[in-house]
Structure 1
Amino acid sequence: MARIFYSLALLLISPLIIFYLYVLRGKKNPAYRKHFMQRFGFVSKQLFKTPTRPLVIHCASVGEVLAASSLINALKQAHPELNLLITCNTPTGREQIKAQFKNTVQSCYLPIDFSGASARFLKRVNPQALCILETELWPNLIAHSHKQNIPVLVVNARLSEKSFKGYQKVEQLTHIIMRSITLLASHNEADAKRFISLGLNKDKSHVTGSIKFDISPTAQQIHTVEVLKQQYNSQRFIWVAGSTHPIEHEKVLAAHQILLKTQPDALLIIAPRHSEQFEKVAALLSQKTMSFSRRSENNYQNESVLLADTLGELQCLYAAANISFIGGSLIARGGHNPLESAAFSVGVISGPHTYNFDHVYPELIKLKGACIVHNEEELATALVNYSNNTKACQILGKKAAQCVINNQGAIDKTLALINQFLESKRDQ
């Protein structure tokens, strides 16, 4: 009954959902209007080049795609014949999938969780299993998968206390979700206990740690970083502001202007979180008469700001810097992944809003691999201090890298769990 009411509520607000995605978001970013019918489960069977049933891996957006990249590459290496379909919710997610995996995987949008759309998607795709990253727990999709005997694997699962209380408010619907999950691999015991309290069978729960820690520089990335350092003169102080948002862009630029007073040759590489923000940041830089070039044009001439208006390069840009600022944290967005910087021994500066990564920041701060600031003035002060103290900056980076190393191993554990549900393994 709870799922019926949920489905009816979704249908009632469907005009608003469509208006928001196609009109409002589509106006800001026309890419939202492309492949729009996929959001209703109309996925072309031409997506699949092989007759084998695909493994569907759902990554909501850019962050989840980046987090899952090591796991997906491990799956590809262990099962070269495996047909992988990566789904997401946003155009930037699609772009990131293409940037990360080129044409080695298929991709499409996961449909909006209308009952008919979810059923249609599963019928057309006919996956051998559905692998969901983190907490993208859509009731109709999961219930239909369970009904069609499609294993539902929730990996890298996390559940904050706030989200836990939210699920408790819709107890009947939550129980449907938890009963339909085949296996859940969580970050830690605290997350696992929350899922079990919501109705997940204890035998289905496994603690694997976070796959986000399983980052290691590739030979190609190391080469790219060396090229970037030569291109942008690694002798100067370079800092990256990664995954910044509106309002935060202005704060970052204000901090850089303060830094330039004591370090006139300092370079800021600013990488907005969403591609629709590239032009807006360019306009801000022009308004502030700050000299800048665009990464996409590759015509750097010693400007004070580099606008990273490309996708798939952020990790290497972090690695080319002395220190990083992780966006989404000076405003109440919950922050983004600091491990992409830490893995390359580049220390982290963050704002106070880091609840999206409350499984990462406490230890990162405890090990002194991250510095927390509360506004642009404190950000500027931290930058000035680290630019004047090379040793302290290097120590921050080493401590950050140690945090990554201390927590690695989740990929192998997660891969072992997924293997149990792959048809090639079940047939052996």
Structure 2
Amino acid sequence: MWLYRFTLLLLTPTILLKIRRFQKKYSHYRPKEALGFWPSVSADLWVHCASVGEVLAVRPLIVQLREKHPTCRFLITTMTPTGAEQVEKSFPFAEHRYLPMDWRFSVKRALKRLTCKHLLIIETELWPNLLFQAKQQGLRVDIVNARLSERSFLRYQQFSHVSRPLFKLPDSFLAHAKSDAERFEALGAKKVLTTGSIKFDLSVSPDVLQDNWREQLGSRFVWIAASTHQGEDEIALNAHKALLQKESDALLLLVPRHPERFDTVYALAKQYFEKVGLRSQDSPDQWSNFDVVIGDSMGEMMHYYQASDLAFVGGSLIKRGGHNPIEPALLGKVILVGPYTFNFLDITEQLIQIKGAIRCLDEIALEDALISFASNPSLCYRVGRAAQRFAEKNQGAVTRVLSEIDFR
């Protein structure tokens, strides 16, 4: 632990700068909580979600928990202000706190203000001081939807003298897939079960279907470049230029992964196209005026997917490892991914195998796939329907998780 704590000490100026940036940008951000100064809170279940994606992912689990335990008191923590906004929107009945930064004194200070016996961590937010202090305080800790890429696994193996004690701390890892479970076991985890991804159990909100952005866009071909990172936006914009030569009324919805990049990506898109809109300024019934619309909003990804005929899932054309392909699959959309999908490797490979997704190894392959699908609506329907059947077939992880976490 001394090496981790020393590294954390070196990173202190960067962490404090990030807290300051959040405070300046988001009026509702509470920096004292990130330093461990929590108001007292009592809960039956503490659920930690890093940010927006995890908050949305845990929704079906919390819904079913409330049905079984109507009086359950929830504490939900996030790292980010956008995650906090999503908690307020999705779970108005829950208490929210910002997770303290993983300095030992901050975590200890926060946990002294907490009365709770059970912590669920969504995905793999393994903060050493948090886990150590939680176990010292007698909390049961379960890692839900646990996933670990081969790349991360190899990193942990390099520092096994630090990582093995860390992986022994949680009471259980409820793994996303069998390959993840095997990696956790190899790193010394005590109890590992493969329960599947709770993200498959995400139901499409009635608001998404009622708002029906797709209907407002007419018959034009619409595609989304979702959760893009730096280096992918240019590729998407170039691919859209090529597509417009064949389909002159095609529309690209370009949705960057991180909100701090919204302005930068908008400026970049303006270099490629004259007609560029912003979700924050232009409603879907106005999008017929644009070649590209920048999705500068949070918590609306299912709306963007619903509005599209085809979804490119970002983080996969660069070595980021790709993002979750389940959401577009649930909506029956054609899914395109790049060569780097190690974050969701099993799911992506299965989607490709059942012809519900296409892997594009480079920009040229992405352009070719776009042009092919744009000119063939029946092919779009077949591939999208295959993805949807796959997603529906894999539902049920929430039930398996609830049977294992022994919630009282």
Q: What TM-score results when the alignment is normalised by the length of structure 2?
A: 0.92
For residue 7 of structure 1, what is the amino acid of its counterpart?
A: R
Q: Which sections of structure 2, spanning at least 5 residues, go unmatched?
A: none
**CA distance in structure 2 between the partners assigned to 1:76 and 1:191 by the alignment:** 28
Q: Residues 7, 414 of structure 1: CA spacing in aligned structure 2 closer, same or farther, 3 A cutoff?
A: same
- SS of 1:352's partner is coil
Q: Is the contact between residue 334 and residue 357 of structure 1 (CA under 8 Å) also seen in structure 2?
A: yes
Q: Shift in Å at residue 67 of structure 1?
A: 2.0
- SS of 2:148's partner is coil
For residue 53 of structure 2, what is the amino acid of its counterpart?
A: G
1:190-269 to structure 2, matched below 5 A, reads 190-201=179-190, 204-225=191-212, 228-233=213-218, 235-269=219-253
Q: Shift in Å at residue 330 of structure 1?
A: 1.4
Q: State the partner residue of 2:74.
A: 84
Q: State the partner residue of 2:37.
A: 42
Q: Shift in Å at residue 301 of structure 1?
A: 5.0
Aligned: 1:317 with 2:315: no
**CA distance in structure 2 between the partners assigned to 1:31 and 1:85 by the alignment:** 21
Q: Shift in Å at residue 88 of structure 1?
A: 2.0
Q: Shift in Å at residue 309 of structure 1?
A: 1.5
- SS of 1:230's partner is helix
Q: State the partner residue of 1:163.
A: 152
**CA distance in structure 1 between the partners assigned to 2:5 and 2:189 by the alignment:** 22
Residues 365-420 of structure 1: CA deviation (Å, up to 9, x unaligned)? 111111111333322221111011111111110111122122211111112223x1
Q: Shift in Å at residue 5 of structure 1?
A: 4.5
Q: Shift in Å at residue 221 of structure 1?
A: 2.6
Q: Is the contact between residue 224 and residue 253 of structure 2 (CA under 8 Å) also seen in structure 1?
A: yes
For residue 390 of structure 1, what is the amino acid of its counterpart?
A: P
Q: Shift in Å at residue 244 of structure 1?
A: 1.3
1:270-309 to structure 2, matched below 5 A, reads 270-299=254-283, 300=286, 302=288, 303-309=290-296
- SS of 1:403's partner is helix
- SS of 2:252's partner is strand
Q: State the partner residue of 1:401.
A: 388
**CA distance in structure 2 between the partners assigned to 1:38 and 1:192 by the alignment:** 33
Q: Shift in Å at residue 150 of structure 1?
A: 0.7
Residues 329-372 of structure 1: CA deviation (Å, up to 9, x unaligned)? 11221111111100011110111111111131110111111111
Q: Residues 213, 369 of structure 1: CA spacing in aligned structure 2 closer, same or farther, 3 A cutoff?
A: same
Q: Is the contact between residue 369 and residue 397 of structure 1 (CA under 8 Å) also seen in structure 2?
A: yes
**CA distance in structure 2 between the partners assigned to 1:337 and 1:72 by the alignment:** 20
Among 15, 18, 25, the residue aligned to 2:16: 18
Q: Shift in Å at residue 214 of structure 1?
A: 1.6
Q: What TM-score results when the alignment is normalised by the length of structure 1?
A: 0.88
Q: Provide the identity percentage.
A: 39
Q: Which sections of structure 1, spanning at least 5 residues, go unmatched?
A: none
Residues 134-154 of structure 1: CA deviation (Å, up to 9, x unaligned)? 221112111111111110111
- SS of 1:393's partner is helix
Among 54, 70, 73, the residue aligned to 2:63: 73
Q: State the partner residue of 2:338.
A: 351
Q: State the partner residue of 1:111.
A: 100
Aligned: 1:333 with 2:320: yes
Aligned: 1:55 with 2:53: no
Q: Shift in Å at residue 180 of structure 1?
A: 2.1
Q: State the partner residue of 1:184.
A: 173
Q: Is the contact between residue 54 and residue 125 of structure 1 (CA under 8 Å) also seen in structure 2?
A: no
Aligned: 1:366 with 2:353: yes
**CA distance in structure 1 between the partners assigned to 2:328 and 2:259 by the alignment:** 20
- SS of 2:112's partner is helix
Q: Shift in Å at residue 304 of structure 1?
A: 1.8
Q: Is the contact between residue 143 and residue 176 of structure 1 (CA under 8 Å) also seen in structure 2?
A: no
For residue 288 of structure 1, what is the amino acid of its counterpart?
A: Y
**CA distance in structure 2 between the partners assigned to 1:298 and 1:253 by the alignment:** 20
Q: Residues 170, 290 of structure 1: CA spacing in aligned structure 2 closer, same or farther, 3 A cutoff?
A: same
Q: State the partner residue of 2:25.
A: 30
For residue 11 of structure 1, what is the amino acid of its counterpart?
A: L
- SS of 2:210's partner is helix
Q: Residues 38, 295 of structure 1: CA spacing in aligned structure 2 closer, same or farther, 3 A cutoff?
A: same
